[in-house]
Amino acid sequence: MTATGLSAISFHTPHRYIGLDTLAEHHGIDPDKFSKGIGQEKIALPGHDEDIVTMAAEAAKPIIDRYGSDGIDTVLFATETGIDQSKAAGIYMHRLLGLPANCRNVEFKQACYSATAALQMACSYVARKPDRKVLVIASDVARYDLDSSGEATQGAGAVAMLVTANPTVLEIGANSGVFTEDIMDFWRPNDRRTPLFDGKYSTLRYLNAMIEAWKDYSENGGHSYDAFSHFCYHLPFSRMGEKAHRHLAKANKAPIEMDKALTGMAYNRVIGNSYTASIYLAVLSTLENTYADLTGQLLGLFSYGSGATGEFFDAKVVEGYQDHLFTARHANILNERIAVSYDDYVSLWNAYPLDDGSATMPEEARGRYRLASIDENKRIYIDQHA
């Protein structure tokens, strides 16, 4: 069987953030409630001219620059903060990146899970057509009501993945375990800008979905728990990953070795929730923040999307993977960000929606791509280097 998986993976996050110590000061609470209670330090904040399309293009551009676009005939864009009920966000990105015209392009949605569905479908496709490549995108802005219990778990980011045969970074395993149940732990009706959710219930259903998916994985020929060197979890907040890891270890009557999961949380702590991108940000964080050579090691991945769908699967680290990472670029993105005041944060939070469907956006994005304007509800994106 043809090996399939990732030959490149890259992320992008906006250049501004609010520190959760600033948010704690505004609310008059102990900063430890955020730094220790949920394991978060910063919330990434997109500007008025940044959204899921601009972040996706910024994440994918280094991959296109390094490997070219030859062979890419499919773009799968996963998001739960879509910008249009009909047109796929990936089509805007397709033009910005100059991808081949002979290319299918579709958007995926199932809360935070859909990037995993896209990845699995991409692997199946390139197994059938090994000369083709698929660009999988996960891009989201997590936004909750001001002064709500979810406010501290906001964030924004995008991860781009190049899926190929004979991958050079991660080989995605053929076995997986899946689980779906119809619940209302988190949802966002069409007429709402922010979601509705039951946080405690969602945590419990997340853990249940993980165990059920793990059981299905095991029954379908998956590896034993002790075969994995590291685990990557969907991270609405980092403490959720810690809870998940303890829960999975206990279910397998294994010692709780938190170091097997913590490196995957490093980026999430300073970016915040990125919905569909979250688990793949954890994968990147594991690859780029684990100092030991991971060649040949197995990663266990649990992807969860409220509502709810969960999947557990495995990935093997390929020899030479370090040569295909963008570690220095990612470090620069994080190190060059700037903190904003609480008032500036509120201003950014209130950037949308538009009352009349038209606006010229202030020039705030520091990257190559920006949303220049909205003209009668038509989104106009530009390449500032063109």
CATH of the domain at 355: 3.40.47.10
Check pLDDT > 70 for residue 353.
Answer: no
Residue 182, token pair as written in the block: 């119809």
Cα 115 from Cα 157, distance rounded (Å): 13
Check pLDDT > 90 for residue 332.
Answer: yes
Catalytic residues: 80, 112, 234
Boundaries of domain holding 344? 4-383
Residues 147/86, Cβ–Cβ less than 8 Å: no
pLDDT band of 373, cuts 50, 70, 90? very high
3-state secondary structure of 71: coil
Measured CA to CA in angstroms, residue 171 lies from 127, 143, 175, 270 at distances of 12, 33, 12, 28
What pLDDT sits at residue 354? Answer: 59
Check pLDDT > 80 for residue 220.
Answer: yes
At 34-69, the pLDDT tens digits run: 999 999 999 999 999 999 999 999 999 999 999 999
Check pLDDT > 90 for residue 351.
Answer: no
pLDDT average, residue stretch 325-338: 98
Residue 308, token pair as written in the block: 């709810």
Which strand ranges, in their side-by-side order, compose the sheet holding 369-375? 359-360, 369-375, 378-383
What pLDDT sits at residue 358? Answer: 86
Measured CA to CA in angstroms, residue 184 lies from 111, 195, 200, 261, 312 at distances of 12, 11, 12, 28, 21
At 138-170, the pLDDT tens digits run: 999 999 999 999 999 999 999 999 999 999 999
What pLDDT sits at residue 355? Answer: 60
The closest alpha carbon to 280, from 126, 120, 132, 82, belongs to 120
What pLDDT sits at residue 352? Answer: 62
Cα 372 from Cα 253, distance rounded (Å): 54
Residue 281, token pair as written in the block: 């940000």
pLDDT average, residue stretch 69-78: 98
Tell the burial category of 253 from Cβ atoms under 10 Å away from its Cβ (0-12, 13-18, 19+). exposed
pLDDT average, residue stretch 346-352: 86
What pLDDT sits at residue 235? Answer: 98
Count of domains observed in the chain? 1
pLDDT band of 29, cuts 50, 70, 90? very high
Cα 91 from Cα 86, distance rounded (Å): 11
